[in-house]
Amino acid sequence: MNLTEILNWRYSTKEFNPTKKISNEDFEQVKTLLQMSPSSTNIQPWHFVIADSKEGKERITKGTQGFFQFNEQKIKDASHVIIFCARTDADDKYMQHLLDQEEKDGRYPNKEVKQMVFGARNLFTNIHRYDLKDLQHWMEKQVYMNMGSLLIGVATMGIDALPMEGFDLKLIDEEFGLRKKGFTAVGVVSLGYRTESDFNDPTKTPKSRLPEEEIFTIL
């Protein structure tokens, strides 16, 4: 499939085949997608809680009670479920931790370059912390970019996905003790394989998008 075909093949899967699991080998690549996503200043303000067992998925369904019931089965039947968590702060300790990792990965030919990157990342972070006062929101945006790249990336592997915001994220934070660890849940993605009966499959219910002439300005 070329990219256009892949983009039309993928859709928000509403019914997962509960008997079909993503192989360990494929899931290793999915983890690479999550790890390798780009982020502004390489801030990587994320953590992922991943469930592939019945028990793990049951715990995640604590966030689909009441109003969010409509998403419950999509968790239970999925092969793997990923909770996307964003940092609630980027303190000095974390900034130093990022710098140390980059040094370990061989990004700094000398102390000057290292210091320059450290300064630039702190500058950007402080613009968001103090001037724009949207540090947490900015970090969440980076997490959403990661979610977007996951959705397209898994489609290239023939894996179906459903992103979900229809979740009681406060309950998810509590269930996994996320806030104490400096994180908060921003969304959940189910992964697996579509059933033949899924009404939302584009061969049954066509996808809908605004037309090109409306969304593009070509200069």
Smaller CB distance to ligand FMN: residue 39 or 41? 39
Assign residue 208 a region (left: φ > 0; alpha: ψ between -120 and 50; beta: otherwise): beta
- Burial bucket for residue 39 (CB in 10 Å: 0-12, 13-18, 19+): middle
165 binds ligand FMN (CB under 6 A): yes
74 is catalytic: yes
Report the C-alpha gap between 194 and 93 in whole angstroms. Answer: 43
Q: Give the phi and the psi of residue 16 in degrees, each rounded to 5.
A: -95, 145
12 binds ligand FMN (CB under 6 A): yes
103 binds ligand FMN (CB under 6 A): no
Residues 15/63, Cβ–Cβ less than 8 Å? no
Report the C-alpha gap between 198 and 182 in whole angstroms. Answer: 38
Report the C-alpha gap between 141 and 45 in whole angstroms. Answer: 10
Smaller CB distance to ligand FMN: residue 14 or 47? 14
Per-residue tokens: 93? 């300790």
How many Cα atoms sit within 13 Å of 181 on the Cβ side?
16
- Supply the minimum distance, in Å, between the C-beta of residue 88 and ligand FMN: 20
- Supply the minimum distance, in Å, between the C-beta of residue 186 and ligand FMN: 9
- Supply the minimum distance, in Å, between the C-beta of residue 58 and ligand FMN: 19
Smaller CB distance to ligand FMN: residue 12 or 136? 12
Binding mask 56-95 for ligand FMN (x = CB under 6 A): ---------------x------------------------
140 is catalytic: no
The stretches of 24-110 forming alpha helices (DSSP H) are 24-36, 54-60, 72-76, 92-104
164 binds ligand FMN (CB under 6 A): yes
213 is catalytic: no
- Supply the minimum distance, in Å, between the C-beta of residue 80 and ligand FMN: 17
Residue selected from 163, 171, 175, 179 as contacting ligand FMN according to rule CB under 6 A:
163
Residues of the shown chain interacting with ligand FMN in the complex, contacts defined by CB under 6 A: 11-12, 14, 71, 162-166, 187, 207
Active site residues: 14, 74, 165
